[in-house]
Structure 1
């Protein structure tokens, strides 16, 4: 059973999310918070697997709450939910450590699928989000990026997987492209994240473009 914490200042929104999530046999809402500070506190006491986090809230907003939750060792994955399709929210959420970003206009199926993806240890990196990451970080910098020594630790196969990951491919798609099993790809991705010292594949994609390892 995947444990989910809801953080949103609107009770009606939390109720809607709870109904959608609790209707799934493998998902369970274990708590609700009305602001970021309460969300951080409950994330520490309830030990959820996934936190569904609103952005605009009174007091501590969702971006700072995400940063605090993501900084905790072995903390839950954070799925940022927002009404506003804004690049500043997207990139601030990713840099704060969010593992996924979803608009509240998404369907119930997209929401529960996103929770399952994050609970499985992956990240919700849709092609649309990948394109925006590329647009933000993929353009050559006026100054040459500093050498990233961590990248030299990757094996040839890990580097190949990393490039496909940076293109926004899922583990299943990478497995098909390389004619290997999905379990093998998961192992490669885990090794890549470990060697780069990043939390998840979203952060890895940002690292790929910032370092110049992959160019748009």
Structure 2
């Protein structure tokens, strides 16, 4: 009801469980899927993984469970955003629009937990570290800024370039690293060892 009442947003389908969500996402080709985590038949993490692999839809996870394993698994599965169910209506609507437009969105508490979890998991993965060599120096610097949570405008200011140039760098690094969006880029930056908390 909240989303249908918004101009420019149309709810094209609803699903009672994860398997139905995958089926409907495949049939209806939505721009954004609003996904719960705990569901019967198939949980939200597996459903997110299947949707991200087989459709163009961006997945925004909305759940009451602020638990590390769910956060991390959902993001690894390809989710572009993760919000808790206590989010305000206008924030939910804004989140759907942002994710649709290719941005990524994480609740602040989720970002802290994600970083803590990535650090706890230990050493950088060599396979990811090698992939960093594919980036130019400017793309690598852009990735560092992304991982620190900077917006395109803030990155442009820090690098003394235009926002258009930043968007080009972001697009290029996502393509080279085969990543879906900015959230995946943040995960990659930490897992590859490019950046760690307090080091930028």
1:177 paired residue among 158, 171, 193 = 158
| Alignment TM-score, normalising by the size of structure 1 | 0.84
Any gaps of 5 or more consecutive residues in structure 1?
A: 1-18
Which residue in 2 is equivalent to 1:62? 44
2:104 paired residue among 100, 123, 135 = 123
Instruction: Give the match's secondary structure for 2:22.
Output: helix
Q: What is the Cα deviation at residue 138 of structure 1?
A: 3.1
Q: What is the Cα deviation at residue 164 of structure 1?
A: 0.5
Q: What is the Cα deviation at residue 128 of structure 1?
A: 3.5
Instruction: Give the match's secondary structure for 1:101.
Output: strand
Which residue in 2 is equivalent to 1:71? 53
2:187 paired residue among 197, 200, 206 = 206
1:189 paired residue among 147, 170, 180 = 170
1:108 matched to 2:83? The reply is no
1:146 matched to 2:140? The reply is no
| Alignment TM-score, normalising by the size of structure 2 | 0.91
Instruction: Give the match's secondary structure for 1:71.
Output: helix
Which residue in 2 is equivalent to 1:8? none
Instruction: Give the match's secondary structure for 1:188.
Output: helix
Q: What is the Cα deviation at residue 193 of structure 1?
A: 0.8
2:30 paired residue among 48, 69, 79 = 48
d(CA) in 2 for partners of 1:96, 1:22: 27
Measured on the aligned residues, the alpha-carbon RMSD in Å equals: 1.7
Give the number of aligned pairs.
196
Any gaps of 5 or more consecutive residues in structure 2?
A: none
2:141 paired residue among 160, 164, 184 = 160
